[in-house]
Structure 1
Amino acid sequence: MSSKSFPIPFSEPPYLSGLPSPYYKPTHLTFQKKCRAFLEEHFLPNALEWERIETVPDHAYDTFVKANMILPNLPAPLPVDWLKRLEIYDIMGVKVEEWDYTHTGIYIDEMARSGLAGPGSSMTAGMAFGVPPVIKFGSKELHERFLPDALTGKTKWCIAITEPDAGSDVANISTTAVKSKDEKHYIINGTKKWITNGFWADYAAMAVRTGKTGSGAAGLSMVVCPLKGYKGVNMRRLKVGGQVTGGTTFIELDDVQIPVENLIGSEGMGMRYIMTNFNHERLTIAVGVTRQARVALSTAVEYCLKREAFGKPLMDQPVVRHRLAKAGAELETMQAWSDQFVYQMTHLPKAEADIKLGGLTALAKAKAGMVFATCAETAILLFGGNGYTRSGQGELIEKIYREVPGSRIPGGSEDILLDLAVRQLVKNYRSAIKTMERPSGDSKL
């Protein structure tokens, strides 16, 4: 994607293009170099081939686990006490207690340099989205049972929320978890659809309805549900347009019996847990697809420098430069917001970040998908027939283009997130105004 002496235009974010940045400390720069070296040896050269065969081999996952390179998918700060208890003290030289969201952002960005989301999500989506609810909201007993194997990669996880009739409308989830007569077990019935990584997962952090039908968000809970090989669980892979190696799965749950101790947190608090978890998911999507957009656009630049038409390189055509410029402006604008956002996540306390950045996280994820669409469309139009062909020099662009919907729908579809972002911003504004207008000494008791 770039020359060792000078990068191809748009191929690297500014801080890796020789430009100063206020966001990256020496520890971040050191980690970036080690992370890139690891991925260029063990991941990037094979990502396209893995997407072709629709599966990431087990040895790749094992290599990541041995290097602790599955853990960067967790929200920062990391669960330091648990990691040290498991004798995990650093990730590529960064002490686990010094890990912050900027390190996480670097990792996600580097993983997406293949231009493809599938191979990375095949190995990392479970740790990113399935394990965090257990860490954040699970009981000590739940931690003891599940975290040792989860954090060391011995078990694979997924997040199971979406259903055939309940995607972004989370409050409409219909999968039920009813207590047995002796109240020692939950009996789960229902279906989950479009579950990334589900096909290979041992466990799911699953959204279920423990309240009565029609109780909406108030009736939702989260549980740890065993999957692979468990009685009453049937799973099959779904063929989707892109990110094929992500293992998108349809899950049927027929009288699946789990201990009541598998409840995550408290009954009826599921919506809160889900929404909190979404913030991390949406941020990681925004960072990853920004890099995918960068891969698409810089690949198009490289192609236009060598491809000739009408007696000269495409790059000498003003209309081509104009199209690249418009997409490049969108890309670098998104990159600046992404860097700023990760910095804010790094420096705000978790509770404050959830309030102040929740709506903006939704907006950033939605905008990143739009930018990705612009850059991918630019690339495929400039590649022409080569970009529309599933093999040859345009194969990567063809695959990237098919992945655009996979960034604009999962994690909350685009239109839902745009609305959510403004509603959350207005809610925060009105709350702040009410606080300012409250008479001195007034109390909400």
Structure 2
Amino acid sequence: MAVPIPFSDPSWLMGLPSAHFNDSHRKWHAAIRPFIQKHLIERSIEWDKSETLPEHVFADFAAANMLIPALPAPLPVAWLKRLGVHELLGGLKVEEFDYLHSLIFADEMARAGVAGPSASLTTGMAFGVPPILKFGSRQLQERFLPDLLLARKRSCIAITESDAGSDVAGITTTAVKSSDGKHYIVNGTKKWITNGIWADYSSMAVRTGPPGSGAAGLSMLVVPLKGYPGVTMRRLKVGGQVSAGTTFIELDEVRVPVKNLIGEEGMGMRYVMTNFNHERLSIAVGVTRQARVALSAAFEYVMKREAFGRPLMDQPVVRHRLAKAGALLESQWAWVEQFAFQMTRMAKDDADRELGGLTGLLKAQAGIVLRECADTAVILFGGNGYTRSGQGELVEMIYREVPGARIPGGSEDVLLDLAVRQLVKLFQAKTKALDQSPRI
């Protein structure tokens, strides 16, 4: 067995003790790594360069119920058992799946180093299905969840517009009830929608309130996409994650049944922001793994690359670069692990309240760490790191994906500000509650 390259795996996978992971987590990891390696990682770079995964890849993951782990923990146990899914790969019972199992899944799915292949498989299940699970009526769930949970149909989350990204309250896509009250007539556009081009349905944020109603005028609908009258979709060419199916969606007089409303009218902003917590944590896990792939590749390269008659690793400046990036990487991973562990110990409402702002900070920091690790790797690879082939092609691909880590799911600067504002708000609420508590 080969000795692992430093920084190539989290410490708990490098033989060191862990306070977080138990036998169930280790068994889960041992079961899914070979599956993901065989069905995704081995050809991820090839598929990302061709910009689309073959259709059979999604089918292979669906057949093995290997898209279900992209859902937030705990899983919808009652629904899954009703659909005949009692266990996941390796015999993990669906009721035993926790956020550390979710962390392991997200980390393994990102192990190729490029985000597109994994995103093309999991984004719909991870972010499109949860609003229906959490807030949809029973009839809405009955109509959509069987096909979505078993991946017979594909979904996406459709929030962002050309002029409304991190500013969710600025959404202008309208949904106005028809004269007979049976349909919403949806008009507008959605942009940078991951997986949209392949999706049968979207969980879409729309404006049901009047212009100027801001966050209070937002709602969420399940909007049919692929082949639906009035819906036009086209792929967008983006700098990274090129196989993830980034899509521009035009909606022209699209008639959506009123019964496709998710939850209540006017509650869309709350639903979107709650959904962001799982999205941002998932992004943080995957991005941290990308940073790990870049840095460990650089570490391996400078061990064998010679310059001025000796290996690059003999140069103090090289070791200094690796040390700085490595400290950031392992600190970030420790925070990610801490988050996942806390999620296993907290009720959903408590976690949303206590960790919501910090989740944004965690996601923003992941992008900052990836930037440092990718930059370090490119510099140490030299010309090879700037070339789209050969020894440094993966490092070059990861470097192009840095903006895709810092912008989607909430832009970095917005999340840094949001995190502090949320912490202030939480502090003030707790202080007020304490001041109003009866004195003894």
Give the equivalent residue in structure 2 for 1:254: 252
Secondary structure of the residue aligned to 1:246 is coil
1:79-126: CA deviations, max 9, x gaps?
000000000011111100110000000000001110010000001100
1:282-334: CA deviations, max 9, x gaps?
00000111111000000000110111111111111111011000000000100
- Aligned-residue sequence identity (percent) comes to 66
Give the equivalent residue in structure 2 for 1:79: 76
Secondary structure of the residue aligned to 1:245 is coil
CA distance in 2, matches of 1:373, 1:155: 35
- Confirm whether residue 9 of structure 1 aligns to residue 34 of structure 2: no
Give the equivalent residue in structure 2 for 1:119: 117
CA distance in 2, matches of 1:291, 1:155: 29
1:34-88: CA deviations, max 9, x gaps?
1101111111111000001000111111110111100011010000000000000
- Confirm whether residue 384 of structure 1 aligns to residue 382 of structure 2: yes
Secondary structure of the residue aligned to 1:22 is coil
- Confirm whether residue 163 of structure 1 aligns to residue 135 of structure 2: no
The Cα shift of 1:439 comes to 5.1
Give the equivalent residue in structure 2 for 1:134: 132
Match of 2:106 among 98, 102, 108: 108
Which amino acid counterpart does residue 241 of structure 1 have in structure 2?
G
Alignment of 1:21-420 (within 5 A): 21-92=18-89, 93-420=91-418
CA distance in 2, matches of 1:400, 1:299: 11
CA distance in 1, matches of 2:343, 2:239: 32
The Cα shift of 1:173 comes to 0.2
CA distance in 1, matches of 2:321, 2:103: 28
Which amino acid counterpart does residue 73 of structure 2 have in structure 1?
A
Q: Which runs of 5+ in 1 are unaligned?
A: none
Which amino acid counterpart does residue 388 of structure 1 have in structure 2?
Y
CA distance in 1, matches of 2:292, 2:347: 31
1:318-356: CA deviations, max 9, x gaps?
110110000000001001101001000111010100000
The Cα shift of 1:6 comes to 2.0
Alignment of 1:424-443 (within 5 A): 424-438=422-436, 440=438
Q: Which runs of 5+ in 2 are unaligned?
A: none
CA distance in 1, matches of 2:64, 2:260: 30
1:365-404: CA deviations, max 9, x gaps?
0001100000000000101111101111111000000001
5 and 393 in structure 1: CA distance in 2 versus 1, 3 angstrom threshold: closer
TM (norm. structure 2) is 0.99
Moved >2 Å (runs of 4+): none
CA distance in 2, matches of 1:60, 1:433: 52
CA distance in 1, matches of 2:258, 2:207: 14
Which amino acid counterpart does residue 87 of structure 1 have in structure 2?
G
Which amino acid counterpart does residue 327 of structure 2 have in structure 1?
A
Task: Give me the CA root mean square deviation.
Answer: 0.9
Which amino acid counterpart does residue 117 of structure 2 have in structure 1?
P
CA distance in 1, matches of 2:434, 2:118: 46
In the alignment of these two chains, the number of paired residues is 439
CA distance in 1, matches of 2:221, 2:415: 25
CA distance in 2, matches of 1:41, 1:197: 22
CA distance in 2, matches of 1:350, 1:302: 41
CA distance in 1, matches of 2:317, 2:60: 46
TM (norm. structure 1) is 0.98
1:399-429: CA deviations, max 9, x gaps?
0000010010000000000000000001110
CA distance in 2, matches of 1:204, 1:368: 27
CA distance in 1, matches of 2:37, 2:421: 42
CA distance in 1, matches of 2:176, 2:235: 27
Secondary structure of the residue aligned to 1:191 is strand
CA distance in 2, matches of 1:176, 1:326: 48
